[in-house]
Every structure is written in C-alpha cells, then in structure tokens.
Amino acid sequence: MNIKEEIAQLKKELINLRREFHKYPELGFQEYRTSKIISSYLEECGLEVKEGIAKTGVTALLKGGEPGRTILLRSDMDALPISEENDIPYKSVNKGVMHACGHDGHMAMLLIAAKILAKHKKEIKGNVKFAFQPNEEDAGAEIMISEGILENPTVDAALGIHLWSPIETGKIGIVSGPIMASSYYFKLIIHGKGGHGGAPHLSINPINCAINIMQAAQNMQTNEMDALKPTVITFCRVNCGSSPIIIPEKIEIEGSIRCLHNGTEEVQKRFEEIIKNICNLHRTTYDLEFKCGNILLNNDYEMTELVKKAGAEVVKNKNILDSEISVMLGEDFAEFAARVPSAFYFIGIANRDKETDFPHHHPHFNIDEDALSIGVEMHIRAVLEYLNNRK
C-alpha cells in the first residue's frame, strides 16, 4: 500500500467533500443532510453502515481479512450558530450556521481514510469502526456510547483528530495524560429583597453579594488552587435589574469551571462553600446548579506513543509537538477516552498567508486544506500500526 500516493490521487475528492460540508453546515442533532452524505459514501466503500445512532450519527464497520482487535476512529459532525464572514466560493448558505471549528475537515478526512482502508481490508488484522458523532459541542458522545457504539464488536481503543489553528500547518500536537480540560457550566441565582434605589437599607441588594462572590472565586482560583493543576473559573453572563432606581429581587450568573486535572468535584465543593458563606453574610439565599460540558480528556500513554510513531512517518519527529499543547477547552471525545485506551491529537492548520490562523469559533475561521492529507494519512497509519504491528 503506497499511502501517500493513494491520498494524493484522492486529494481533489477530499477537498470537495470538505467544501460540501462547509457550504451546508448543520447544528447538533440536526445533521440530516450531512449524515445522508456520509452514510451513502460509506456504503459505496462496501462497509456495514448504521444510521440514526444518537439521532443523526452514523457508524460503519470495516472487517479486516484476519481476526484481531477493533479500533474506533471518530469524527464530529456539527456546526456552530455563527454567521460566516469569509468571502469564499463555498461560504455557508445556511444563515447563522457555520463550520467554525474544523468538523467539516474532520468528516472529509475520515471518509477518505475509510475509502482507502476499505480498499485494502484484506491486509488488515482486525476491525475498524468509523464513528461520525453528532452534537460534539454539547455532549453527543455519551449518547452514542449508551446506544452501543463500543460493542458488537467490542472496541479496544479509540483515536480522534482535531484540526487546530494554534499550530502551524505541517505540525502535529499530542501529549500523554491530560490534553483538554473538564468543563462544568454553572448557573447561580442569588435571591435578595427588592426595593427603591434611594432606600437601600430597606432592601437586600443581590448585586453586592454577587460582586463579592465573583471576587472571592477569583481569589480562590489564584491563591487556593495548585498552580501545577490548572483551574479556571470564568463568569460569562450576568442578568438582573430593570431600572437604575430599582434594586432587583435576584441576580442570575452563569459561567464555567474548567480543570486540567482530576478533582473537579473538590473545586466545585469549595466554590459552593464560598457562595454559601458570602450569601449568609449578605442575608441572601441562592440556587446553584452544575451541568457537565465535558469530562477531563486524558490520553493513554501507549496510544500516545502509537500516534507519535505514526506521525514520524507523516511529518517527521521534529514536527511533532509534545509540550505546551494541553488547553483549558473541553472536548466530547473524553467520553470515549474514559472507557477505552485512547489518544486525541491536534493537526496544525495555521497559515498566515492563507488566513487560516483565526481562532476556533471565529466568523473568519478557515482551514488550510493542505493539512487534510496529513489527517488522512495519520488515520491510516495509526490504524495499521495498532492492528497490524502492535502486539
């Protein structure tokens, strides 16, 4: 199998697939058109395809020529509620919806990898599951798992790729251990006593209480948390009041707690302890609820080494970055990594001349399409390394 040559022959198809997905983006659990394209493509590759997993997800199974282990390759599918501002021929035609994170490229890369691997299935020892996951931005992986994606046959390991604008095209970023943070979103409601702005002594102002809580939480983050265990508490939305002369009855605050380490439960416990004590001080009451955005994404050491070995064949060792890679952003692939040995890694797409160095979730986000071939080759080489070469 001449991997590079076969990918080169399919490069135009690879780019066309990515642009098709980009032009017609769909939000989480609404990827109906996307899933039809994916399932039809995989069926044409001769794979066993299942539609409708986690509502709009698609899976496909490649059975190799000899029995062996099973590895899962995952791509996300969903777009974001962003209005695209790029001036490109394949600009989103769906108003207010855009692939501003790279999922369009992820799908294209995995489809081409599936096509090439299917062509050589007799040479493969074991099975490959291709998972196209809906709603990555809001926890679609757990639903896929609950509906049996890791079963029949049992998945032994998993790999995921994310195209990454903080890294230059031609480079790969991966670390063993924590690579993407857990994220828990909180909603805090502080109840006071409303009244006239000119007579604050007759009221209990929840705004004053909220200010103290936000200051105390930042102090907690800075002075109570181990600096070697990154923890970020952010307040992102505040809603209260109707007039400059009316003290409101309540204030609503929303934000997130992110940890690049185990122990988020202790952080949440201390966070609530601070809220409780400050509310008591201000004679207010509160309601607090947490919603899990993502659990901590931990890379397995052996799977990380496997990715590095495959990467050396694709971009050379000097272009594999293994420090200052971990980020405080969350990633739904963590649900797979919590259940089977896994590795998740970044493929650089930043090229200033092509204007592909905008941050993710930006209305000008775009992909250096030269990076797509790297992703395809990484998928293929990692699969062969795991199934055919590893004991």
Q: What is the mean pLDDT of the chain?
A: 97
Phi and psi dihedrals of 163, rounded to 5? -65, 135
Topology alike, domains 3-179+296-389 and 182-293: no
pLDDT at 138 exceeding the cut of 90: no
How many other CB atoms sit within 10 Å of the CB of residue 185? 16
Phi and psi dihedrals of 188, rounded to 5? -115, 125
Helix, coil or strand: residue 4: helix
pLDDT at 391 exceeding the cut of 80: no
Q: What is the dihedral of CA 42, 48, 50, 56, to 10 degrees?
A: -20
Q: Which residues of the chain form beta strands (DSSP E)?
A: 48-53, 57-63, 66-76, 125-133, 157-168, 172-173, 177-180, 182-191, 195-196, 231-240, 246-247, 250-259, 285-294, 297-299, 320-321, 342-350
Region of 214 (left: φ > 0; alpha: ψ -120 to 50; beta: rest) is: alpha
Q: Which helix (H) or strand (E) holds 304?
A: helix 301-314
pLDDT at 97 exceeding the cut of 80: yes
Q: Which helix (H) or strand (E) holds 314?
A: helix 301-314
Given a contact cutoff of 8 angstroms between Cβ atoms, the answer to whether 112 and 7 are in contact is yes
Of 26, 56, 23, nearest to 39 by C-alpha is 56
Of 301, 302, 313, 345, catalytic: 301
Question: How far, CA to CA in Å, does 48 sit from each of 43, 44, 72, 189, 288?
Answer: 7, 10, 14, 49, 46
pLDDT at 390 exceeding the cut of 80: no
Give me the mean pLDDT over the 121-141 stretch: 96
pLDDT value for 16:
98
- CATH number of the domain located at residue range(s) 182-293 in this protein: 3.30.70.360
Task: Name the fold adopted by 3-179+296-389.
Answer: Aminopeptidase (3.40.630)
Q: Count of residues for the chain?
A: 391
At 274-328, the pLDDT tens digits run 999 999 999 999 999 999 999 999 999 999 999 999 999 999 999 999 999 999 9
Could you tell me how far CA 269 lies from the centroid of its own chain?
26
Of 84, 136, 331, 369, catalytic: 369
At 22-34, the pLDDT tens digits run 999 999 999 999 9
Strand-pair partners of 164 = 348
Pairing of strands 250-259, 182-191: antiparallel
> How far apart, in whole angstroms, are the C-alpha atoms of residue 13 and residue 111?
10
Q: Is 48 marked active-site?
A: no
pLDDT at 347 exceeding the cut of 90: yes
Give me the mean pLDDT over the 68-85 stretch: 98
Residue 137 annotated as part of some ligand binding site: yes
Of 136, 72, 103, nearest to 339 by C-alpha is 72
Given a contact cutoff of 8 angstroms between Cβ atoms, the answer to whether 134 and 77 are in contact is yes
Domain ranges of the chain: 3-179+296-389, 182-293
pLDDT value for 139:
83
Q: Is 301 marked active-site?
A: yes
Residue 279 annotated as part of some ligand binding site: no
Q: Is 120 exposed, middle or buried (0-12, 13-18, 19+ CB in 10 A)?
A: middle
At 217-244, the pLDDT tens digits run 999 999 999 999 999 999 999 999 999 9
pLDDT value for 1:
85
Residue 258 pLDDT level (bands cut at 50, 70, 90): very high
Residue 379 annotated as part of some ligand binding site: no
